[in-house]
A = this chain, B = another copy of it.
Amino acid sequence: MKKLINNPADVVKEELMGVALAHPDLVRVHFDPNYIVRVDAPIQGKVGVISGGGSGHEPMHGGFVGVGMLDAACPGAVFTSPTPDQMYEATKAVNGGAGVLHIVKNYTGDVLNFEMAAEMAMAEGIEVASVVIDDDVAVQDSLYTAGRRGVGTTVLAEKICGAAAEQGRSLQEVADLCRKVNGWGRSMGMALTSCTVPHAGKPTFDLPEDQMEIGIGIHGEPGRTRMPLKTADEITEMLALPIINDLPFKSGDTVIAMVNGMGGTPLIELYIVYRKLAEICKGHGITIARSLVGNYITSLEMAGCSITLLKADDDILKLWDAPVKTAGLRWGL
């Protein structure tokens, strides 16, 4: 296992120490239980927006804590759900009296632990709403899920709901918006290689040199099919068409499009995929109004990519354009 780490058991702790040292203007890091929180939290009268999940998907979620996006993020061990006490403490830390939204990716552990944390917080009089993101069209059920997995739309939901909370919308409004974003977002990913979880010390799965996996999960969970490696254009079609046909996205729709790298994919390749995605969308009469090309929801050093399309109305586009200041996504500030 070749990694820039010290002891596998210390990976998350030492990463969080690095985050705290690199971004003192944006975040504070709380240890035991671990969470990353906006430096100015709690903000009185503002809905708090938090998320969390296993580490190894950076910049999601910790890199999205800051003005206009998340108020806090709870990182678990690599590819492992955070514990309810992390989410409970983070909820308390961001509660400014207007309630707290939990954005939860649909993995069994995340869902259960966020539910427990919400109950604990509500028992103390904090209003909590939870929205589960389940946008991955690849498979219906999965290794760690009942129903679809939560993937790329999470990044877009965090940006858009964070902007809405920053504007002063109510918990009900921000939660409804998050449900709308989840309802309008669809994703699918693929892998060229596996990744290696530090405490496992060996690749999560074997993928022969001439094979790829279509529909892969962000923890390396099996997708739809393995097949011989295809061209970027063919792969982009294999991801984009199931996404478009699922909602379905229709001629005349406006979307935000994300081409996301899994962690070990050169940016040059992601732009080649984006080129074909833009062509496919155009062919379907779908207008890409905004785009994001880069590493946003990763799987350690996995090579591969995912595509997310989010149907967008004027409200969503305005919230997308609103200022954001985080380590992983920043504009206008």
Contact = CB atoms under 8 A, between A and B. Distances in A.
Contact of A268 (B11, B235, B272, B304): B11
A19 interface: yes
Contact of A301 (B3, B4, B15, B264): B264
A303 interface: yes
Contacts of A248: none
Nearest to A59: B267
A227 interface: no
A231 B6 contact: yes
Given A301-B266, A332-B333, A272 B11 contact: yes
Range of interface residues on A (Cβ < 8 Å): 35 or more
Interface stretch (A84-92, A174-182, A292-300): A292-300
A21 interface: yes
A314 B278 CA distance: 43
A291 B266 CA distance: 23
Given A2-B212, A273-B4, A298 B18 contact: no
B330 A4 contact: no
A303 B272 contact: no
